[in-house]
Amino acid sequence: MPELPEVEICRRQLRRWSQGAVLREVLLCDPAAVRKTLSTRPSDAVEDAAKRLAPLVGRAPQPPIRHGKRLGWAFGDIGLGIHLGMTGQWIRGDNEQPRSGRVGLRFDHVVLWFVDQRRFGGLTIRPTNELPDLLSSGHGPDALDAPCAGPQLAEIFTGRRAIKVALLDQSKITGLGNIHAAEALWRAGIHPGLACNALSTDQWRRLSKAIPDQLQFAVDAQDGDEIAYITAGGPNPFAVYGRENKECPKCNAEIQKISQSGRSTFLCPSCQRG
């Protein structure tokens, strides 16, 4: 599943690939990819997908914007909201529909395809001035672009919920998924099972630095023309995630895997005691 860094890289790719180009044609292969709102449900599809996308043709795109894992892409005063869902991505191609190609945007020199095997991803049309609200609706500040200071984090995350579980709550801060929440807690030396109301001022301070550091690390490690998803069998660039029984890069202790709210969490029992 794409996390914030993959979505940020997707944003940069769309900007790079469409720079100075004009949209010439929309190739609509799967009308259900066009939704009434930013939704992961194909049942939210609009009835008139082709008609909704048609006004984009003949316009030059602006650089896309991002909030958390949502993208907005303005074509003049008409905007495209983009949700990648579980398997959505944008690739460069030509007029030929790629495997799982849902919507193709044909520019002068390239066709940019929204491909999505599982079909949870979707596109929606909005006036450009509504895009920022659409992207941030129901979500907290962006974990990379608007990082919170320690005292702010302590105010946002209260109660007895485990910190790792709380960090995945997108309404508090947005953009941390299962991988980067675990990695950020390892960086900060905080046990993922620690209750939010048990974190010290110093732990909040360390976490406030670890979150954007981790996301920036992942963006830098993956930036380029191809996105290497860890789940796709590429090399594992992470310190603890997916490294059960391997050595912690900081202290050589054996990394453990635990389950929290039904999701895997990885930690170093030595570095993350408190």
Check residue 176 for interaction with Zn ion (CB under 5 A). Answer: no
Q: Contact between 205 and Zn ion (CB under 5 A)?
A: no
In the complex, least distance from residue 266 CB atom to Zn ion, rounded to whole angstroms: 11
- Cβ proximity to Zn ion: between 93 and 237 the closer is 237
Report which residue type is found at 37: T
Encode burial over 172-190: b for 16+ CB neighbours within 10 A, e otherwise.
Answer: bbbbbbbbbbbbbbbbbbb
CA 120, CA 33: separation in Å to the nearest integer?
Answer: 8
Contact between 188 and Zn ion (CB under 5 A)? no
Active site residue 247: no
Active-site hit among 2, 61, 192, 212: 2
Part of the chain binding Zn ion (CB under 5 A), chosen from 74-82, 211-219, 225-233, 246-254:
246-254
Q: Judged by CB under 5 A, does residue 239 bind Zn ion?
A: no
**Segment lying near Zn ion (by CB under 5 A), choices 3-11, 49-57, 103-111, 251-259:** 251-259
Question: By C-beta, is 216 or 270 nearer to Zn ion?
Answer: 270
Site size for Zn ion, by CB under 5 A? 7
The verdict on whether 3 is a catalytic residue reads: yes
221 binds Zn ion (CB under 5 A): no
Q: Which of 109, 251, 254, 261 binds Zn ion (CB under 5 A)?
A: 251
Active site (annotated) includes residue 254: no
3-state DSSP assignment of residue 89:
strand
Q: Taking CB under 5 A as the rule, does residue 103 contact Zn ion?
A: no
When asked if residue 268 is in the footprint of Zn ion (CB under 5 A), the reply is: yes
DSSP-derived 3-state class of residue 1:
coil
CB within 8 Å of 233: residues ≥ 6 apart: none
Q: Active-site residue among 35, 69, 70, 106?
A: 69
Closest CA to 180 of 150, 208, 214: 214
3-class DSSP state of 214: helix
User: Which amino acid does the sequence have at 124?
Assistant: T
Give the E-state strand segments of the chain in sequence order: 25-28, 65-67, 70-75, 78-83, 88-93, 101-106, 111-116, 122-127, 256-260, 263-267
Q: Kindly tell me which of 186 and 204 has the beta carbon lying closer to Zn ion.
A: 186
The interface region with Zn ion, picked from 69-77, 117-125, 197-205, 266-274 by CB under 5 A, is 266-274
- Give kind and range of the element (H or E) at residue 7: helix 4-18
The answer to the question of residue 248 lying near Zn ion (CB under 5 A) is yes
Binding segment for Zn ion (CB under 5 A), chosen from 22-30, 108-116, 166-174, 252-260, is 252-260
- Write down the least CB distance from residue 235 to Zn ion, Å: 21
Task: Establish whether 172 is a catalytic residue.
Answer: no
265 bridge partner residues: 258
207 by Cβ neighbours in 10 Å (0-12 / 13-18 / 19+) ranks as: buried
- Catalytic residues, which ones? 2-3, 69, 263
- Binding stretches for Zn ion (CB under 5 A): 248, 250-251, 253, 268, 270-271
